[in-house]
């Protein structure tokens, strides 16, 4: 009995420690954040089905489906719909099917919305991707053209890899007709299309081991297919690489639309298309900053809003901060997902949670 009592106490202690300490977070006046689910270990990319189901990729080998049956802003049912996959951080919903990345392959769960309790076995879309684990996790998204966009990161911190590495690709939903979208990209783990212009914007993680404050992560915009964004020759649009930069002037490559900060690990990004948030956030780019691992003072660990007008970046402002205090992090944002009601979900792979941000005017 004493042993059983001890086990129960230990379980309660673990549960208490695992509860995300949302009281540590700071948001602008009128904004509120709450737990949508705290049962998603390793939560990474988010995707929404037409019935409102939220699909969550993870770095824990699993894919989750979250259902808010009470329509109260919190998932009351969490189902694991795939297991044993290789770093399946990316998920994208398309025509009733859920596409999943798994390092060297793309898989699909057919007609998943009707089979959440008895999920189908993942089918292979393509296995014609490199099997390198370094920067091998893949954010996925379907573009306005109906194509599946798939990045292939550089298999290193800094090197001169051949294609298909360090590039963003697109393909048909069946994996055929792969086409180069952009290259010279160290590792993008977030991209989206701008409402109105239809232009593709993406985050890119800067290289390591050039000091605390160099180089910056980038926010980039693709103006033409096949553009080269500098890696490994030029960083942040103006800094030649000390090893690979000679003979490769930065003017030869597409400059970033904005510098996001050194080592902040800018991951998932989406344009805010809702109307719940104040007008200054309408059309802004929301970016999950996963946070630094090799900086003497931590940076990132927050969600930023980047205000844009057409092709121009106007301002960068914090939306959610406080995942790290006093050089200790309890959370690491990985993706953002605006919902039809104007609220925004945020995934956190360290706390294993998904949060929901809402807004209500302080004067209302």
DSSP 201-269: EEEEPPPSSS-TT-SEEEEEEE-STTEE--TTTEETTTEE-TTT-TT--GGGSPPPSEEEEET--EEEE
Supply the pLDDT for residue 2: 38
Residue 39: predicted pLDDT: 97
Q: Identify which of 330, 258, 273, 337 has the alpha carbon closest to the alpha carbon of residue 57.
A: 337
Which residues of the chain register pLDDT less than 70? 1-18, 364
Which pairing describes strands 353-359 and 344-348: parallel, antiparallel, or unpaired?
Answer: antiparallel
Q: What structural domains and CATH numbers belong to the chain?
A: 28-34+131-359 (2.120.10.30)
DSSP letter string, 76-119? -EEEEEE-S-SS---EEEETTEEEEE-SS-EEEETTGGG-SSSP
pLDDT value at residue 362: 82
Give me the pLDDT at residue 18, please: 61
Structure tokens at 39: 């049962």
Q: What integer pLDDT is reported at residue 126 of this predicted model?
A: 98
Quote the pLDDT of residue 3.
Answer: 37
What is the distance between the alpha carbons of residues 236 and 251, in angstroms, rounded to a whole number? Answer: 12
Chain CA centroid to CA 173, Å: 21
What is the separation of C-alpha 86 from the centre of its chain, rounded to a whole number of angstroms? 17
Q: What is the pLDDT of residue 364?
A: 60
């Amino acid at each position: 009995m004493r042993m059983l009592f001890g086990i129960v106490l230990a379980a309660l202690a673990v549960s208490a420690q695992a509860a995300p300490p949302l009281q540590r977070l700071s948001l602008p006046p009128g904004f509120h954040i709450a737990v949508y689910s705290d049962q998603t270990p390793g939560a990474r990319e988010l995707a929404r089905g037409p019935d409102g189901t939220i699909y969550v990729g993870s770095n824990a080998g699993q894919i989750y489906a979250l259902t808010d049956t009470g329509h109260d802003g919190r998932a009351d049912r969490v189902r694991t719909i795939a297991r044993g996959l290789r770093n399946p951080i990316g998920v994208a919903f398309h025509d009733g099917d859920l596409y999943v990345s798994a390092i060297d392959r793309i898989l699909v769960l057919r007609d998943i919305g009707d089979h959440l309790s008895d999920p189908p076995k993942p089918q292979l879309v393509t296995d014609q991707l490199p099997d390198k684990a370094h920067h091998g996790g893949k954010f996925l998204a379907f573009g306005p053209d109906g194509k599946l966009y798939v990045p292939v990161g550089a298999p290193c911190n800094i090197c001169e890899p051949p294609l298909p590495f360090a590039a963003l690709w697109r393909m048909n939903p069946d994996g055929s007709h792969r086409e180069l979208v952009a290259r010279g990209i160290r590792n993008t783990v977030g991209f989206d299309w701008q409402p109105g212009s239809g232009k593709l914007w993406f985050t890119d993680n800067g290289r390591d081991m050039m000091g605390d404050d160099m180089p910056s992560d980038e926010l980039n915009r693709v103006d033409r297919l096949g553009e080269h964004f500098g890696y490994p020759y030029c960083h942040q649009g103006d800094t030649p690489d000390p090893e690979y930069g000679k003979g490769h002037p930065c003017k030869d490559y597409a400059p970033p639309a904005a510098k996001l900060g050194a080592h902040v690990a800018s991951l998932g990004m989406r344009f805010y298309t809702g109307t719940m948030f104040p007008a200054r956030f309408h059309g802004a780019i929301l970016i999950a900053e996963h946070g630094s691992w090799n900086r003497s003072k931590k940076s990132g660990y927050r969600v930023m809003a980047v205000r844009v007008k057409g092709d121009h970046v106007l301002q960068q402002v914090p939306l959610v901060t406080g995942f790290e205090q006093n050089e200790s992090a309890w959370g690491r944002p990985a993706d953002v997902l605006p919902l039809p009601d104007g609220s925004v979900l945020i995934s956190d792979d360290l706390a294993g949670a998904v949060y929901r941000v809402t807004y209500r005017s302080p004067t209302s």
